[in-house]
Chain A
Amino acid sequence: MDQLPIVVIACQVFQSLLEELIPAGVAERFTFLDYGLHRVPEKLTWALQDTIDEIAQPSLIMLGYGLCGNGLRGVKARQHTVIVPRTDDCIAILLGSYQKYIQEFEATPGSYYLTKGWLESGSNPLQEYQKYREKYGDDDATWIMDQQYQHYKRLVLVAHTMEDLEKYRPRAQEVAEYCQRWGMRYEEILGSDGYIRRLIEAAAALDTADGEFVVIPPGGEIEQEMFMRY
């Protein structure tokens, strides 16, 4: 079978990484969707479906997403073949593998991850607090924050390269200082681009795609059950 043209649809969190790792000319087109869509999973579903529906030529669509709170559930492949990492969300992809994610999860379940994407898009506890304070005043903002974050034990900055860790450290540390109100400790993890690399490899040779990925044939639909690992 001839290789289908490759189309990339991904969260902005992976934009720089995908642009860097996918050789020029390999992908027909790239679409990067807003970071914030996962807050309303249904909106993510619609945005993905709209983007897929715009592609006329049968293609291999590489989704730079996880299940994202069921945001990917119900997305229809139409005439295309779709491949997506088999993970809950972007954290396992940033860490480099599902196994690494589980290892971290088991060591400290209450971990809040900071990434380049989240820091760039302003989605972190400190900025949330500032936003609520403007809207509701200090008392209410503090109460809202306590409700949402009091059980977290650890704040983790995760990046693929040392350069990124260094670049985002000052901002992450500002967030860390604020998060000390819940006794959260600050750590850094040098992740890996391995998962994204394997996604690109699997897309180039679909028959090699293993359990790390969910592959949807033409006419199929993404289901939540496909992401369960056991």
Chain B
Amino acid sequence: MSELFSEFSKAVIEGNLDDIVGLTKDALDKGLNAKDILDKGLMPGMDHVGAEFKAGNLFVPEVLRSARAMQSSMSLIKPLLAETGAAMTGKLLLGTVKGDLHDIGKNLVGMMCEGAGFEVKDMGKDIEPDVFVEAVQEFKPDILGMSALLTTTMRSMEHTIKALEEAGVRDRLKIMIGGAPVTQTFADQIGADGYASNAASAAELAKKLMS
């Protein structure tokens, strides 16, 4: 059985889209538990990809392919996960801040967190503070994740947190931030609850923020 799970991990690591769809269908036909496929097959594969990405052994294209492979398997097992009543880990709202158009890292965070069992709503890029506030009021996320890739746009994160405070909704959620020039020091300075340096750590952080 463990061999089958490691095949899932391998398909995720290789970003092999053709293999993973067949693999998922077969496994489900054989009566394998959707939650086990996720926890023992897909997630270990993605954890490996995350670690290798962080170490500089894998680059964005490889990680994108892996995330896509994982998502295609997820789309098959997701309805079953819901059926078995496996509770979602939490609700995550994501967006790249005002003035910033970079979204690859943020997209990866979304995929990783979905893998970690979050219900993810991705608002996209260039999001104004007020638009974040409206989305928070509507979607009621447990966590808000913001991304900025430039020192010039990082301040928008601070402005968004202020806007959430003014709207009186800041305390209803946790805030995590990330992006190439962002640091833990900056996160502390602007009053965010956490910082992650890459997509894999972001998923870990999100889980930690829920506990």
Contacts and interface: CB of A to CB of B under 8 A. Distances in A.
A70 interface: yes
Given A109-B99, A110-B101, A140 B183 contact: no
Interface string B134-168: 00000000000000001110110000000000000
Given A88-B150, A88-B151, A109-B99, A148 B60 contact: yes
Interface string B170-193: 000000000011010110000000
A102 interface: yes
Given A132-B61, A144-B65, A109 B101 contact: yes
Contacts of B152: 88, 102, 105, 229
Given A41-B180, A151-B101, A144 B151 contact: no
Contact of B185 (A69, A110, A144, A225): A225
A227 interface: yes
Contacts of A152: 101
A224 B185 contact: yes
Contacts of A158: none
A146 B181 CA distance: 24
B151 A147 contact: no
Interface string B96-133: 00011101100100000000000000000110000000
B70 to A, nearest CB: 15
A229 B154 CA distance: 11
A132 B60 CA distance: 12
A148 B151 CA distance: 20
Contacts of B99: 109
A96 to B, nearest CB: 17
A229 B180 CA distance: 17
B36 to A, nearest CB: 29
A42 B151 contact: no
Nearest to A147: B64
B11 to A, nearest CB: 14
A140 B64 CA distance: 10
A192 to B, nearest CB: 20
Contacts of A132: 61
A1 interface: no
Contacts of A223: 185
B56 interface: yes
A182 B207 CA distance: 36
Interface string A35-51: 00001111100000000
A106 B175 CA distance: 27
A40 B56 contact: yes
A116 B145 CA distance: 36
Contact of B65 (A39, A140, A151, A224): A140
B181 A224 contact: yes
B56 A227 contact: no
Given A224-B185, A227-B151, A227-B181, 5 more contacts: A105-B150, A109-B101, A140-B65, A151-B103, A228-B151
